[in-house]
Amino acid sequence: MTAASLCFIFMRSETLWFSCRVETVRVMPLLEFLAGSISGALGLGVGYPLDTVKVRLQAQSVYKGIFHCVIKTYSHEGLHGFFKGMAFPVLTTGITNSLVFGCYSNALGYLTKSQRSRGKPASAAQVFTAGCFSGLVQVLVCAPIDLVKVRLQGQSTSARYRGPVHCVAVILREEGLRGLYRGGLALTLRDVPCYGLYFLPYEVTRKVLTQDGKEPGTFAILMAGGVAGVVTWSFATPMDVVKARLQMSGAGGREYSGVLHCMRVSVREEGVRVFFKGLLLNSLRAFPVNAVTFLSYESLMKIFYPPPASHSSQ
């Protein structure tokens, strides 16, 4: 679940809950795709070191806490250790963003087609449903990308994979095509409801911070994105832990037979608090990632689509 994907939806779709009208669904122009790819890559780069620490804390029990993981990673692998596996998601962020944007826009357009002519805004339930649908579709396409990212992030000094292409080749050879979707059910249980949930706190916060009759400013957008990210990750983190453990189980980690088995074993050995490993890191990551992503996207869109010159009234 990326801030860049949601940035596309909020900044350009004009189908937002409460205040905006529902427009005809359209295909994303090239410049929007480019802006989303660049802003997504920037946001990904800012949050990636914390994401790597989070994945290692969730999937491996050798670390005593955040600082221990950071120190051990840096001492054994240097700064490079915090950016393992980043190339693959950076290269595919544009595809992910356009996929989420297109699915959300089309789903919301379909759900609201009967009220479009009356200018009635989309309801919270419609926004949630459209978000869930976009989350489901992106899981089907992006599960292998997420798996490769987690596998590369999780390996430390003994490098099993030389890079994303080699990682895919090894997984296909040793685990088959199904191996690329290991942890896919947990990813689905995480992303489908959370993509729907994200839209609701975003819209509430954005509306509170925006004066009536005015467009939301940069501060409102950044704060709304940050708040939405923190709220969403509070719900997403338990299944995020399960997902990371299932994805790493095929790479020398502990083997689990499925989601329920992973949950039972994790609770038995580490207690219920295991499901909140990485919550602090996810929350800390949400604000800077959203800030960089939304701000860079907005700036690029102003460059690509300059606002028309204002004319004084006669």
Please list the alpha-helical segments (H only) found in the chain. 3-12, 30-59, 66-77, 87-111, 113-116, 124-154, 164-175, 184-208, 218-248, 259-270, 279-304
pLDDT at 4: 52
Q: What is residue 275's DSSP assignment? A: G
State pLDDT tens for residues 82-98: 998 888 888 887 778 77
pLDDT at 7: 54
Q: Where are the domains of the chain?
A: 3-303
C-beta atoms surrounding 1 within 10 Å: 22
pLDDT at 181 > cutoff 90: yes
State pLDDT tens for residues 119-152: 788 888 988 999 899 899 989 888 999 999 999 9
For CA atoms 49, 164, 232, 247, give the dihedral sign: negative
pLDDT at 264: 95
Q: Which amino acid is located at 288 in the chain?
A: P
Is the CATH number of domain 3-303 2.120.10.10?
no
Non-local (6+) Cβ contacts of 111 within 8 A are 122, 126, 129, 130
State pLDDT tens for residues 59-78: 877 888 889 999 999 998 89
pLDDT at 168 > cutoff 90: yes
pLDDT at 308 > cutoff 80: no
pLDDT more than 70, % of the chain: 87
Cα separations in angstroms, 136 against 160, 263, 270, 297: 30, 22, 30, 24
